[in-house]
Structure 1
Amino acid sequence: MSSGLVPPDGAFFPNLFGKTQRSAVHLEMRDGYMADEQFDQWLADGRPPYVAPVEGDEVWMSMVAEAVERGIEVRRARIVSTDPVSPYMAWLHAVTGGFNIAAGEQVRWLPRRRASMLTLPGNDFWMFDETVVWNHFTGDGEWLGVETTDDPAAVNLCRASFETVWALATDHGEFHL
């Protein structure tokens, strides 16, 4: 069953993480996302290689940490253009250690040139056990909302795509810009 495009409320992701029993995976395939004050500040600060969490990050971090404590494997893979990476991806790289990994996520990076022969869905997604959550964005990276499905074909495509990317990708600690 598939839902239509909806802007998730503050309970959307906590509800999904709360129901998850085994695995939550996230595949990101864009080189830039919505405008962000933290990104702008990072640019103004001269693009430091590490960014500590800021006020408001604790909500996401505690949700992920609670899931990991329950035994949920939380993994995130990013397919990125390199040589060089976009400024936005460089910022995400700087944020990842203090935010995603500190919360308990495992994160890997795959240079886009190594993804040319992969079968990938057309949109970024989260997959919570057997539920796919498509993330929809405008052309300039503004988040439009999500669409959920438990269609077996979508679940199988996303699972296979994520696992293939994961196997080819480099662990965050070893991925150098």
Structure 2
Amino acid sequence: MLLITAADFADTLRECERAALHLEVQDIYETPEESEPFARFLAGEPDDYTWMSEWVALVRETTGRGVAVRRARVVTVPHVDYQRWTLEVSRVNIAAGEEIRYLPRHLVSPDELTVDDWWLLDDRVAFTVFEPGGRWAGVAMTADRHIVDRCRAVWNLVWQRAIPHIEYMENSLR
């Protein structure tokens, strides 16, 4: 595997030709760059989402080239505060061109998932790497066919079962 730093990840995403598929399986992420916006959410304060501007621009650029950018989140119900926040923040991602779906954890067997988050970037897998303090450090890339095939199978299963963001919001608010 090759470690790609967070700074280089944008270039890696720009190399995608077909799809950038992101699986998230954790309920909580404690990344320093999200701590202030998350705290504002918990306090009921508004957010202008400017902290997401680089990501939004990258997603627009990527989807503008015809590359599908999709995110599937496997979440525990009832939602922890962090996941309630991601439901709100996801609106910004979606407006930029991402497709986002949610799969309640109780609807999938742990054996059908991976324990790590990752990106499937065409025919490469990029496992998300976090520093001990929670800061996103980059990704560990591999093109190993067995790993790619396993992640693609997990992705297909999760994406098929997952609920599109708008429908998930409507059902989770009931």
Task: Indicate yes or no: 2:142 matched with 1:149.
Answer: yes
Question: Retained in 2: the 8 A contact 1:33–1:142?
Answer: no
Matches within 5 A, 1:153-172: 153-172=146-165
Q: Paired residue for 1:39?
A: 38
Deviation at 1:72, TM superposition (A): 0.3
In structure 1, distance between residues paired with 2:132 and 2:154: 23
Q: Paired residue for 1:127?
A: 120
Q: Any runs of at least 4 consecutive aligned residues in structure 1 with deviations exceeding 6 A, and if so which? A: none
Task: Indicate yes or no: 2:57 matched with 1:62.
Answer: yes
Q: Paired residue for 1:113?
A: 106
Alpha carbons of 1:9 and 1:136: their partners in 2 closer, same or farther (altered >3 Å)? closer
**Cα distance per residue 1:2-59 (max 9 Å; x no partner):** 12x56x142x22211211100100000000001411001100117xxxx765223121
**SS of the residue aligned with 1:146?**
strand
**SS of the residue aligned with 2:50?**
coil
In structure 2, distance between residues paired with 1:105 and 1:18: 15
* Percentage of identical aligned residues: 36
Q: Structure 1: where are the runs of 5+ without partners?
A: none
Question: Retained in 2: the 8 A contact 1:53–1:95?
Answer: no
Question: Retained in 1: the 8 A contact 2:41–2:47?
Answer: no
CA RMSD after TM alignment: 2.0
**Would you tell me which structure has more helix in proportion to its own residues?**
2
Question: Retained in 1: the 8 A contact 2:119–2:125?
Answer: yes
Question: Retained in 2: the 8 A contact 1:120–1:157?
Answer: no
**SS of the residue aligned with 2:112?**
coil
Provide the aligned length of Structure 1 versus Structure 2. Answer: 167
Deviation at 1:124, TM superposition (A): 0.2
In structure 2, distance between residues paired with 1:24 and 1:45: 33
Q: What is the TM-score with the length of structure 2 in the denominator?
A: 0.87
Task: Indicate yes or no: 2:80 matched with 1:86.
Answer: yes
Alpha carbons of 1:134 and 1:63: their partners in 2 closer, same or farther (altered >3 Å)? same
